[in-house]
């Protein structure tokens, strides 16, 4: 699809690059009032259309050709080809470091108020803070392995919008190294599902509010083969606060569990609920049991034989991380299943 006259001109447009945030496009053009030859421009997709291209200006652009611009996911460094006087001949490759807006100069560090000759009153003036814009995207990367052999493996990775229960991207980890990299623009509750024939699926959750700053997350994933005693955490099952009511964002994960049970007729599972250690142990155990029961009732309501399912609430008795940190407590608040028969 031609992007139209907002982006394209009667002159040449080259070297398009879409930032991992999914909405910022960089390209080179001989039009749009360039400084000469090709200049680098930026346009942002918002409200269903591309914004008028913005010339990145001097010192990035020159009167000669500046092309094939790319930028890191963090938005801090850019790389491109440019013809400059300090080059080694014709076009050379350059790196740009974006420092953010320049602070206004502070001409006087303090204001002298002459209250007396002996002890003047001094008022310190601080330079106003200058915010440096960062890309609103999270980079998730790591290695997919076989849990038993520890060897890297190729697997399918689905990126899901939990609020819509919709797969928005699907790709493979590297067959030789097992490595993967996912770009997650802010503003979506993401489910990440890693799956491979002969293995139980693995899920992760990243709820990224709009405006969440750039970050990189390392997450190695060990896939487990279907065997009695194996446990899998269901990271995309959500409940209302302090209740056993399943939220609609849980639908995709529940459907994956239903599909696993349907495709493996002999499979039997224990669904278990777990909490952190905040609150009374008796209450936590009761809440975790009611939540596990809610998952079983959903599956039975979808046609799964209730004889294949059991449920249990363990409260805070089986932590997987220390309860001394917020991150640890979050890991301990979970729903999981254990294979009891196959």
The pLDDT tens digits for 14-62 are 999 998 888 899 999 999 988 888 999 999 998 889 999 999 888 889 8
Tell me: domain 227-342, CATH 3.10.450.50, correct?
no
| 310: enclosing H helix or E strand | strand 309-313
- For residue 246, count other CB atoms closer than 10 A to its CB: 20
In a 13 Å sphere around the CA of 46, the CA atoms on its Cβ side amount to 7
Produce one character per residue of 21-50: b if its CB has 16 or more CB atoms within 10 Å, e if not.
bebbbbbbbbbbebeebbbbbbbeeeeeee
- The architecture of the domain spanning 136-225 is Sandwich (2.60)
pLDDT, tens digit (0-9, with 9 covering 90-100), for 186-202? 889 999 999 999 999 99
pLDDT of residue 133: 53
pLDDT of residue 233: 96
Across 301-326, average pLDDT: 95
CA-to-CA distance for 261 and 185, rounded, in angstroms?
33
Check whether 183 has a pLDDT greater than 90: no
Residue 130: band (very low, low, confident or very high) from pLDDT cuts 50, 70, 90 = very low
pLDDT of residue 136: 80
Check whether 68 has a pLDDT greater than 70: yes
| For the chain, percent of residues with pLDDT exceeding 90 | 68
Residue 178: band (very low, low, confident or very high) from pLDDT cuts 50, 70, 90 = very high
Q: What is the DSSP string of 265-296?
A: TT-EEEEEEE--SSS-HHHHHHHHHHHHHHHH
Q: How distant, in Å, are the alpha carbons of 105, 116, 126, 127, 307 from that of 113?
A: 21, 9, 17, 19, 85
pLDDT, tens digit (0-9, with 9 covering 90-100), for 248-292? 999 999 999 999 999 999 999 999 999 999 999 999 999 999 999
Q: Tokens 């930032």 label which residue?
A: 19
Q: Tokens 């302090």 label which residue?
A: 242
Produce one character per residue of 183-220: b if its CB has 16 or more CB atoms within 10 Å, e if not.
bbbbebbbbbbbbbeebbbbbbbbebeeebebbeeeee
């Amino acid at each position: 699809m031609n992007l139209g006259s907002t982006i394209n001109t009667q002159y040449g447009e080259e070297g398009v690059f879409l930032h991992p945030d999914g909405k910022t496009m960089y390209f080179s053009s001989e039009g749009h009032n360039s400084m000469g030859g090709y200049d680098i421009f930026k346009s942002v997709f918002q409200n269903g259309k591309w914004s008028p291209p913005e010339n990145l200006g001097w010192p990035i652009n020159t009167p000669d050709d500046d092309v094939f611009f790319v930028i890191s996911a963090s938005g801090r460094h850019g790389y491109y080809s440019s013809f400059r006087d300090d080059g080694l001949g014709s076009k050379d490759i350059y790196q740009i470091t974006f420092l953010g807006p320049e602070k206004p100069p502070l001409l006087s560090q303090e204001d002298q108020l002459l209250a007396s000759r002996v002890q003047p009153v001094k008022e310190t003036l601080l330079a106003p803070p200058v915010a440096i814009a960062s890309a609103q995207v999270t980079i998730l990367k790591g290695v997919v392995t076989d849990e038993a052999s520890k060897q890297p493996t190729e697997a399918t990775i689905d990126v899901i919008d939990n609020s819509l229960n919709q797969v928005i991207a699907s790709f493979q980890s590297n067959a030789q190294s097992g490595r993967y990299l996912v770009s997650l623009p802010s503003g979506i509750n993401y489910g990440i599902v890693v799956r491979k024939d002969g293995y139980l699926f693995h899920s992760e959750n990243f709820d990224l509010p709009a405006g969440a700053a750039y970050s990189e997350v390392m997450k190695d994933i060990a896939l487990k083969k279907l065997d009695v005693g194996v446990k899998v955490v269901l990271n995309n099952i959500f409940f209302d606060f302090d209740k056993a009511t399943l939220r609609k964002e849980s639908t995709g994960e529940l459907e994956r569990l239903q599909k696993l049970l349907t495709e493996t007729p002999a499979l039997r599972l224990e669904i278990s609920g777990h909490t952190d250690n905040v609150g009374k142990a008796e209450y936590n155990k009761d809440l975790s049991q009611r939540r596990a029961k809610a998952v079983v009732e959903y599956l039975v309501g979808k046609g799964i034989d209730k004889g294949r399912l059991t449920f249990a609430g363990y409260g805070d008795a089986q932590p997987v991380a220390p309860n001394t940190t917020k991150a640890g407590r979050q890991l301990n608040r979970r729903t999981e299943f254990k294979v009891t028969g196959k």
